Amino acid sequence: MNLTKILAISGKPGLYELKVQTRTGFVAESLIDGKKITVNLKSNVSLLSEISIYTYEGEKPLTEVMQQIAVKENKGQAISHKEDNATLSAYFKQILPDYDEERVYPSDIKKVLNWYNTLQAKGLVTDLAPAVEEPKEEAPAAAEKPKKAPAAKKAPAKKAATKKEE
């Protein structure tokens, strides 16, 4: 499993795993207690694979940040998200030295550490690496799409045929 099916649902504690999509929303299972809930399309839901952390150079995907935490902690638990803000900021500075301190709030750091510890407790930290490799696989697929351009060349041939008919 990677972060592509892990969800954070606004107003609901913890993380959820996407199980099934339905016409009106989807079914998600809590990583904390295993209970399944239905979520409608109006709910504010974030995929962890789509979240990034602001840095001075741009944005860093959450998957990469969590991998850096895993490397630092040897895939063990990180510090508690309940530590004071100064301790959390100092810890996060070790993980991501160039994070933008003005745009990344202490509450964001708490969420990241809480999410990491939840995933680590479920044994999902070791599977974070494939989520980073997937976008690299998509890049060649995007390069293949321009090869479909010869289909566009057929359109001028049709115009030529219509001129002959006139």
Note whether 42 and 3 are within 8 A (CB): no
Residue 145 has pLDDT above 80, yes or no: no
Task: State the pTM of this model.
Answer: 0.72
Residue 17 has pLDDT above 90, yes or no: yes
Residue 8 has pLDDT above 70, yes or no: yes
Cβ-Cβ contacts under 8 Å for 45 (sequence gap 6 or more): 7, 8, 9, 10, 39
